[in-house]
A and B are shown apart, each in its own frame.
Chain A
Amino acid sequence: MFMLTKLADLVQIAPQDFSKESAKAIEDNINAKYANRVIHKIGLCVCLWDITWTSEGLVSSGNGYANVNVEFRMVVFRPFKNEVIQARILSQTQEGISVATDFFYDIFVPKSELPDGAEFEAKEGVWIWKVDGAALYYDNHELVRVRVISEEWHDQAPQEPLALEDQPASELLSPYKIIGSMNVPGLGCTIWWDD
């Protein structure tokens, strides 16, 4: 579910950070910019893995920042297609189940990807899998195993201020969304399958 991505960027070290070791200053700069951010069509950045190359620092006139070109590798969260990952049920609707990991919330399992015999109990707001006469509940906060079947990307391009005001906040699409499946044995709540 994690991979390494090689990136290049210009790092600007502020004069107040000159007291830090150069490598640490560059590391902090990169982490502050990328950690917990989604790069379009790449994935969710976790943290810096290593720095592979740096240029000499050039001090720019006017503000005294040291400019360094850096090539580095980031740890990125991006499960591959068909990968099975562990996650937790966040909320449920008629349309399906939203699941999340501790650090990534945009995973959705549509109702078509739930096993046969799964029904939505509107009164309690939970999905129930009725199998062999037993009713198994998809309770919120329950741990599940989910297979990744596809992903959706929405580029967060800046919008005109006017357009932004017209649009309710809920319509802003998440930059990276994973569509999952739980319709084969072994997937779904972990307690159903573990001995």
Chain B
Amino acid sequence: MKVLEAQTALLSNYEVYQHIVDTYKTDNAKKRRIPGNLAMMVTEVLGYLRTAPSPLAKQDETGAYSPEALPRLIERLSEENFGSELTKAELLMIFNLRPSNNAVLSTTIEDMIERFTEEEQARLVEVFTEVLGSNPPDPVEAAEDESAIPSIENGQ
């Protein structure tokens, strides 16, 4: 074995998720035997990416993330004049974690308090929610909602 290039690119969680689903979880691919160590690895990685609050938790149902999501996020940020404010690493973390409030946002952006005012932070969170969606309400609330209004989606 020879390492030609230690790091050719960074991948977002979504890209890894999509690659695994496309390569190993389509009906055609399931018919084929794959090495045991690989089968275990892809199952565990998928399980990890599907654990809420990971934004990919309900990806199969909602399709919140798509190949256009990241370009769209960058476009929306520049529309809001945040174009060059965030570094690539910060954007990648935001794309992977989808912060829904200031506390979580502050972990993904270095020195956030000095770089953004509170109003700007709120606008950032708004943009992320708009482009990437948000976490579904927790199961207890969801159950109450369902009993109130019969859901067509779940009762198919």
Binding site for B on A (CB under 8 A): 1-9, 24, 28, 31-32, 35-37, 39, 41-42, 46-47, 49, 71, 73, 75, 80, 82-86, 88, 101-103, 143, 145, 147, 184-187, 190, 193-195
Tell whether, in the assembled complex, residue A42 and residue B35 are in contact, meaning their CB atoms are under 8 Å apart.
no
B59 contacts across to A, CB distance below 8 A: none
Partner of B54, one of A24, A84, A86, A185: A86
A36 contacts across to B, CB distance below 8 A: 37-38, 40-41
**Whose C-beta in chain A lies nearest to the C-beta of B89?**
A80
B40 contacts across to A, CB distance below 8 A: 36
Binding site for A on B (CB under 8 A): 1-13, 15-16, 19-20, 23-24, 32, 34-35, 37-38, 40-42, 44-45, 47-48, 51, 53-54, 89, 93, 96-97, 100-101, 103-108, 110, 135
Tell whether, in the assembled complex, residue B5 and residue A6 are in contact, meaning their CB atoms are under 8 Å apart.
yes
Q: A9-B1, A193-B101, A193-B103 are in contact. Are A102 and B45 (CB under 8 A)?
A: yes
A147 contacts across to B, CB distance below 8 A: 107
Tell whether, in the assembled complex, residue A3 and residue B11 are in contact, meaning their CB atoms are under 8 Å apart.
yes
Q: A186-B103, A193-B104, A195-B100 are in contact. Are A7 and B9 (CB under 8 A)?
A: no
Q: How far is the CA of A22 from the CA of B60 in the complex (A)?
A: 32
A9 contacts across to B, CB distance below 8 A: 1-2
What are 10 inter-chain pairs, A to B, with CB distance below 8 A?
A: A2-B10, A8-B4, A31-B38, A35-B42, A47-B20, A47-B24, A73-B8, A84-B108, A145-B104, A193-B103
Tell whether, in the assembled complex, residue B3 and residue A7 are in contact, meaning their CB atoms are under 8 Å apart.
yes
